[in-house]
Amino acid sequence: MDKPKLLRRVMPLVVLALLSASCATKSPPTVLPSEPARRPALPKEARQPPTPSICLPTCSDGLTFERESWRALLTNGAPPAPPVSAPPTR
């Protein structure tokens, strides 16, 4: 067998051996562990006030429904107007 054919057969085995040897050793971490970031507490004026006792859950449900309908109008648009050439309807 000549040398180029031998190299073609041996080189993949050498690469495989090097890769498996590099995975076998436990390398030290390159980044030191750090403490996770802490969020500061909200200031008093930024906190939401408690719900007054006179408010009912249905009030907030109604407001949510209205907001959703407004959002739908903004994203979907109003229904198209009839064409100008259409006969008037009474």
How much is the average pLDDT of 11-30? 75
pLDDT number for residue 22: 67
Q: Please identify which residue in the block is written with the tokens 């408010």.
A: 55
**Share of residues in the chain with pLDDT > 90 (%):** 3
**pTM for this entry:** 0.28
Q: Where are the domains of the chain?
A: 3-76
In three-state form (DSSP H/G/I as H, E/B as E, the rest C), the secondary structure along the chain is: CCHHHHHHHHHHHHHHHHHHHHHHCCCCCCCCCCCCCCCCCCCHHHCCCCCCCCCCHHHHHHHHHHHHHHHHHHHHCCCCCCCCCCCCCC
- From CA 10, how far away is CA 21, in angstroms rounded? 17
CA dihedral 59, 60, 65, 71 (to 10 degrees): 130
Residue 8 has pLDDT above 70, yes or no: yes
How much is the average pLDDT of 3-11? 82
Mean pLDDT of the chain: 79
pLDDT number for residue 43: 92
pLDDT in tens, 30-52: 777 788 888 899 899 988 888 77
